[in-house]
Chain A
Amino acid sequence: MKTVTITLANPPELYLEGQNITPDNFAGKKAAEIATLDVWEGKLKSPLGKYFTVEGEGGATAADTKIVLRGDCTRVKRIGQQMTAGEIVVEGNADMYIGGWMKGGKIHVKGNVDSFCGIGMEGGELIIDGNAGHHLGSSPRGEWRGMQGGLIRVAGDAGNDTATFINGGTIIIGGNADIHVSTHGEGGTVIIKGDAKGRVGGQMVKGDIFVYGTIEYPLPGFQLVGEVEQEVDGATARFAHYIGDLGERHPVSRGKTVYANIYTRL
Chain B
Amino acid sequence: MAKKIENVGCPFCGVCCDDLVVTVSDDGKKILEVENSCIIGSTVFHRAMSERHTLPRLRQPDGTFKEISYDEAIDYTAKVLHNAKKPLIYGFGSTNCEGMAAAAKVAEQAGAVLDNCASICHGSSFLAIFDNGYPSCTLGEVKNRADVIVYWGANPAHAHPRHMSRYSIFPRGFFTGKGHKGRKIIVIDPRHTDTAQVADIHLQVQQGHDYDLFDAFRTVVRGHDIPDVVAGVKKEQIIEAVDIMKKARFGTIFYGMGLCHSDGRNHNVDIAISLTRDLNDFTKWTIMAMRGHYNITGPGAVWSWQYGFPYCLDLTKRDIAHMNPGETSSVDLAMREEVDAFINIGTDAAAHFPIEPVKRLRKHPWITIDPHPNMATEISDLHIPVGIVGVEVPGIVYRMDNVPIQYRNVIEPPEGVPSDEELFERIYERLCELEAEDAAREPAKAAPEGARAGE
Contact = CB atoms under 8 A, between A and B. Distances in A.
Interface in B335-353: 336-340
Q: Which of A180, A202, A220 has the most CB of B within 10 A?
A: A220
A184 B216 contact: no
Q: Which 8 A-B pairs have the closest CB atoms?
A: A247-B218, A42-B86, A43-B111, A42-B85, A142-B130, A247-B219, A246-B224, A220-B216
A96 interface: yes
B323 interface: yes
A219 B212 contact: yes
Given A199-B211, A203-B274, A219-B215, A43 B86 contact: yes
B219 A220 contact: yes
Interface in A126-149: 134-135, 140-142, 144
Given A199-B264, A220-B212, A247 B326 contact: no
B84 interface: yes
A116 B336 CA distance: 15
Interface string A213-253: 00001011101000000000000000000000111100000
Nearest to A142: B130
Contacts of A43: 85-86, 110-111, 316-318
Interface of A: 13-15, 40-44, 96, 115-116, 134-135, 140-142, 144, 160, 164-165, 179-180, 183-184, 198-199, 202-203, 217, 219-221, 223, 245-248
Interface string B216-256: 11110110111100100000000000000000000000000
Contacts of B217: 247
A86 B165 CA distance: 64
Contacts, number: 112
25 contacts: A13-B85, A14-B337, A41-B86, A42-B85, A42-B111, A42-B316, A42-B339, A43-B110, A43-B111, A43-B317, A115-B326, A142-B131, A160-B264, A164-B131, A179-B263, A180-B267, A184-B131, A184-B132, A198-B212, A199-B212, A199-B267, A219-B212, A245-B215, A247-B217, A247-B218
B131 A144 contact: yes
Interface string B159-180: 0000000000000000000000
Nearest to B220: A247
B324 interface: yes
Contacts of A203: 215, 270-271, 274
B337 to A, nearest CB: 7
A165 B127 CA distance: 13
Nearest to A219: B215
A40 B318 CA distance: 12
Contacts of B212: 198-199, 217, 219-220
Given A43-B316, A116-B324, A199-B211, A246 B86 contact: no
B264 A179 contact: yes
**Majority SS at the chain A contact face:** loop
Nearest to A77: B327
A74 B318 CA distance: 25
Interface string B128-153: 00111000000000000000000000
Contacts of A140: 324
B336 to A, nearest CB: 7
A44 B316 CA distance: 8
A247 B216 CA distance: 7
Nearest to A44: B85
Contact of B130 (A44, A134, A141): A141
Contacts of A164: 131
B230 A220 contact: yes
Contacts of B271: 202-203
B325 interface: yes
Nearest to B214: A247
Contacts of A160: 264
B327 A220 contact: no
Interface in B192-220: 209, 211-212, 214-219
Nearest to A17: B317
A220 B227 contact: yes
Contacts of B214: 247
Contacts of B324: 116, 140-141
A235 to B, nearest CB: 31
A202 B327 contact: no
B115 to A, nearest CB: 15
Contacts of A202: 211, 215, 267, 271
A116 B215 contact: no
A27 to B, nearest CB: 24
Interface string B64-104: 00000000000000000000111000000000000000000
B439 to A, nearest CB: 15
Contacts of A246: 219, 222, 224
A217 B210 CA distance: 12
Contact of B267 (A42, A116, A183, A247): A183
Nearest to B312: A141
Contacts of B130: 141-142
A223 B336 CA distance: 41
Given A13-B340, A15-B338, A134-B326, A42 B84 contact: yes
Contacts of B327: 96, 115-116
A141 B323 contact: yes
Contacts of B222: 246-247
Nearest to B316: A43
Given A15-B336, A43-B316, A221 B131 contact: no
A105 to B, nearest CB: 23
Contacts of A141: 127, 130-131, 323-325
Contacts of B209: 217
